[in-house]
Structure 1
Amino acid sequence: MGTWANVLFAASNWFVGEWGAEWVTLNENLLTLFTVTFKTTNHLDLSCNKLAMVIVDSTKVDFRCDINETVTQIILTGPGVKSICSLYISGGRNVALHQSAEQTSTYTENTKSYFASLAVDGNTNCYFYNGSTSHTGSEPNPSWTLTLDTPRVVNRFVIYNRADGAINRLKNFNLTAFDINSKAVWSYQDQNPETALIYKFTRFESDPVSKIRIIPTSKETYDIQYILTLCEVLMYGDCVPGSWGLECNKTCPVECPGSCHQGTGTCFICQGRSDPPLCNTACPSGQWGPNCTNQCGISCYNASCDRTTGQCDKGCNGFINPPFCNTECGINTWGPNCQFYCRTNCYNMSCNKVTGVCNSGCIGYMDPPNCIVGK
């Protein structure tokens, strides 16, 4: 091994929506001693946003970043670089494979029907008579629709056109994505002047997608009406936050309800606990939130708060409305839940809402703010 300060990986074009990587190291003491940065196609430096990390075992660690950019370089720095054995990079999985597809009509030739499902069967042999291309009949408004079994966050699309002719039917197609309520959340209109055999495009929005619809806008010169043919449609993405599993039908643990490893369900972040991925060490007194990174508010009595919500669990100090403790004590009152009155030896009976000392001076006493020594 070397003692490199950094390692750079370059590619012609990587899209990163939720970027994931797994390092395999030879030294478990260096397992997490990495920093990851990126360079965009415009040569701008980009940091790892919303870094999530889970230790897989004594030699593997999984990192994830939210990066809505196209990047050309991934740069690793830090002491752990010298111990890297392997690096695996993922931009998501094909969530369209074998999902429910339908089209407005189906073309049949010599008893062979070219169903909508042929465009999500995993076969990218795009010669028509090999039987792996969907094909509508000739009609005024054909369309092809894919419905996912559960909503997914989709970042990238790859569409394979028919390869042996009639390729102009897909030119300038329109793709619309819908949410679970059939509301359109995103649309892509192909603007390429030339017809392509493979179309690749990205989506930067994070709204979950439940369904997509593809509509043709072009015809071959000999076509009377529109016809839509698709060899294969791939959609890369992953589960929506809070779910995990191959089918995204499992719920993240209560310790990390909004963020867990989408392959294993282990926690990147522990809510009210400090030790991901196990999440079995509760936050110490005075701390709360994800990985115990927040301090209980000064308005909480004895700086004590709920380890998950941050709300004051033992009442307020200088405030009157537990557990929120965001309404200050009224005039002349102070202390836990404002139960005490300011002393009469405070000027105008005005005192500090937390400590009770005389903020505005004394009446008949000479030692503000305590006001206990007579004149």
Structure 2
Amino acid sequence: MTEMALLLCCSWAVLLYSYVQAYENLALLKPAWQSSTLWSDTADRAVDGLYTDLSEEGGQCAASSLGQTTAEWRVDLGHVHSIHHIAIHYMTDSTTWDKENAVKQYRLGFSVYISNTTDRQEGVLCFRDTSYTRSTIPNPVYINCPYHGIYVIYYNNRTHPPYPEGYSGYAGNDLCEVEVYGCPSPGYYGQNCSLECPQNCQDGYCDIVEGTCFGCEHRYIGSRCTHDCPEGLYGSKCLQNCSVTCGEPRRCNIKTGHCNGGCQVGWTGVMCEKGYHISINHERRTY
């Protein structure tokens, strides 16, 4: 049993090492910000590449002020990047990382967001801790996060009591290093970031592992956006119907929806959406 556990542990370590070698730490030395600061433990310390000393006195960790009900930290990656995973190295306060470690109570319940703005609520939730306890929260924490964005935001709060057992009444970050691994150039995927995303992916971005598109440009569908809209449909995700009043009913441009072959009698407009009739005076009136 011990040999099996050792094998699994080593396999996981080898896999993680290969990922770290394949992807670049996009957060290293990038601008960082936090909602409050304890003494000189500024936000940039969490992206300086130093985390050999996980104590508060070591000068390698960012930390929020004491007695806060919310704690937020973020790093600006500079432009949109495709992200694979995130590694969070916590301050240990120079004590063993076990259930008796008092700083753990401030970490529980944290969330990580990826956003194109500094507002986490405008981004995507990458991870929310709903199950860690003081006995089980690891250090470092590794989070799979296959999304793309500009800002990586770490957030925790103590604003809605009661809290689960083991939680402090206050929130903190206390981050010695936040590593954000992904592709340095947008529009690429694969372990070596050498494969181009399919050309019809929306905004040029795709899943960093599989290369599948998050969305398609107009007129395309499929996991890699390689298929045109079926006849009679057009637009984003091919969800809109061509007009039945087109000169050729339900035949239109698969990108714009403009009718092919003009309009049927009594209809006008690029989508044949305007009806008209001819009066006794031969005047055309639309309706």
Band of TM-score, shorter chain: 0.3 to 0.5
More strand, by proportion: 1
Structure 2 length as normaliser, TM-score?
0.47
More helix, by proportion: 2
Higher RCO (CA 8 Å, separation ≥ 6 residues): 2
Structure 1 length as normaliser, TM-score?
0.39
